[in-house]
Amino acid sequence: MNATTPARSVPGYCLPHSHAAFLRANRSIPGGVNSPARAFGAVGGEPPFMARAEGQFLYDIDGHQYIDYIGSWGPMILGHGHQRVKRAIAEALETGTSFGAPTERESEIAEAVIEAVPSIEKVRFVSSGTEAAMSAVRVARGVTGRAKIIKMTGHYHGHVDSLLVQAGSAATTLGTPNSPGVTPGSVADTILVPFNDAKAVADVFAAYPGQVAAVLLEPVAGNMGLVPPRPGYLEALRKMTETDGAMLFFDEVMTGFRLALGGAQERFGIRPDVTCLGKIIGGGLPAAAYGASRGIMDFVSPAGPIYQAGTLSGNPLAMAAGLATLRELRDRSPYDRLEALSARLAEGLDRAAKDAGVPHVVQRVGSMLTLFFHDGPVENYEDAKRSDTKLFGRFFWEMLARGVYLPCSQFEAAFVSAAHTEADVDHTIEAASEALRASAGPP
């Protein structure tokens, strides 16, 4: 490694320059961060502040290098600073940063998305996954003329009011707000069911015939840790929605272009009605999209009556970065190598946890994975919540002290990039073996 790994004083070591930066940030930014996922609230302590990134590495302002397994929470499938992406951004920068008018590049990336994703015939670009989910829910309701949405407990679709809900006491329940500022009325038509429970979805359709606009889910959950669908589950949802006249709505903000070029729907052979995309589609810049068949998307303004707009939608720099990323994934497919590297990492983490005598399960789909600290299996949010989060917190800091940057929550997936090497993976496994033995002892 070219830079030093952090000095080992865990849990929650304090890096002096990052500490000063965090104090400064807290004076002007709520909690010192611009997204709660960066705050280290689930593991305690203060986050390192980053100075730069390159390839598979992050470098903090205290001069330490980390092997990065968050990849900006998913977008950096090619690694940081990929030359093709940087060149595309530089070329776009020379022509202007925003026009508020159409550009040909928007059509180019739209055509690339349509070519890659089986269910999409037209696509609308927006600036964030939250915006994509919000807009697509509106489309589902507007096209079907129905109000109710079925959502899976533990799945995250951005901070949309109608989707920021928590479950009640029943397995299938009307949602209640889980954030101040979200009114009961805004979630009144959101119905929560457990992930991987097809019967619960069937019960909702039976209770509300002809009233459900869409079944909304991450086809592979990544926001309660990595949780794959049970065999036959996605197929059952597809059949039920077709029978009832509801839409099947895949949130592929995480899985799109990651689990395959065509996302989870290509990997599992299921064609949803509506798809949300984000993260990778922007190549590391802010961009997202929602897409569907022509018949559905032609309801969106200005072609149709369902309103949605955005000043910076289709931003030239983001479109350039996203298009370069999609073309690189198409031209030099990394998916076989990502599969092999990710399997090597998952097997090594499983072996290390067994050797340390730690109850655990490692779950992986493609280049997304999670080491859960309970003996599994983890098939839904209730299972995930049984994990030993205190043990995870100790493990996280032990790994950070050994130069490995993992997601700072038990309930987030880790991402492997095309920039990672076998040596990086082997170093990570060795670090995990040491970290597990250290963290499994008395706190």
pLDDT digits (tens, 9 = 90+) for 120-158: 999 999 999 999 999 999 999 999 999 999 999 999 999
| Statement: residue 7 has pLDDT above 60 | no
C-alpha span between 316 and 380 (Å, rounded): 39
* pLDDT at residue 15, as a whole number: 87
* pLDDT at residue 440, as a whole number: 83
Please confirm, yes or no, whether 156 is among the known catalytic residues: yes
Q: What is the DSSP letter of 231?
A: T
pLDDT one-digit tens code per residue, 289-303: 999 999 999 999 999
How would residue 178 be classed by pLDDT, with cut points 50, 70 and 90?
A: confident
* pLDDT at residue 22, as a whole number: 95
Please confirm, yes or no, whether 290 is among the known catalytic residues: no
Q: What is the DSSP letter of 228?
A: P
pLDDT one-digit tens code per residue, 386-407: 999 999 999 999 999 999 999 9
Dihedral sign computed on CA atoms, order 191, 195, 197, 201: positive
Please confirm, yes or no, whether 354 is among the known catalytic residues: no
Determine the residue type at 318.
A
* pLDDT at residue 183, as a whole number: 81
| Statement: residue 57 has pLDDT above 90 | yes
Cβ atoms of 273 and 119 within 8 Å: the answer is yes
Q: Higher pLDDT residue, 437 or 7?
A: 437
Of 66, 156, 381, 405, the active-site residue reads 156
Percent of the chain residues topping a pLDDT of 70: 94
Instruction: Give CA 325 to chain center in angstroms.
Output: 17
How would residue 49 be classed by pLDDT, with cut points 50, 70 and 90?
A: very high
* Average pLDDT value for residue range 311-321: 97
* pLDDT at residue 1, as a whole number: 42
* pLDDT at residue 11, as a whole number: 43
State residue 150 phi and psi, 5-degree precision: -95, 125
How would residue 174 be classed by pLDDT, with cut points 50, 70 and 90?
A: low
Is the domain covering 16-57+68-80+335-425 a CATH 3.30.2130.30 domain? no
| Statement: residue 177 has pLDDT above 80 | no
pTM above 0.75, yes or no: yes
C-alpha span between 87 and 89 (Å, rounded): 5
Q: Higher pLDDT residue, 27 or 172?
A: 27
Mean pLDDT, the chain, rounded, equals 93
C-alpha span between 275 and 277 (Å, rounded): 7
Cβ atoms of 343 and 364 within 8 Å: the answer is yes
* pLDDT at residue 419, as a whole number: 98
How would residue 8 be classed by pLDDT, with cut points 50, 70 and 90?
A: very low
Architecture of domain 83-331: 3-Layer(aba) Sandwich (3.40)
* pLDDT at residue 184, as a whole number: 83
Q: Domain extents for the chain?
A: 16-57+68-80+335-425, 83-331
pLDDT one-digit tens code per residue, 317-340: 999 999 999 999 999 999 999 999
pLDDT one-digit tens code per residue, 219-240: 999 999 999 999 999 999 999 9
How would residue 442 be classed by pLDDT, with cut points 50, 70 and 90?
A: low
* Average pLDDT value for residue range 74-99: 98
Cβ atoms of 328 and 322 within 8 Å: the answer is no
Specify which residues 149 forms β-bridges with: 190, 214
Of 68, 197, 251, 383, the active-site residue reads 251
Asked if the domains 16-57+68-80+335-425 and 83-331 are classified in one and the same CATH topology, the answer is no
* Average pLDDT value for residue range 59-65: 95
Dihedral sign computed on CA atoms, order 140, 145, 147, 153: negative
Q: Which residues contact 121 (CB under 8 A, 6 or more apart)?
A: 114, 291, 292, 293, 294, 297
* pLDDT at residue 443, as a whole number: 56
How would residue 69 be classed by pLDDT, with cut points 50, 70 and 90?
A: very high
* Average pLDDT value for residue range 256-264: 98
Closest to 16 measured CA to CA, from 63, 58, 55, 59: 63
| Statement: residue 2 has pLDDT above 50 | no
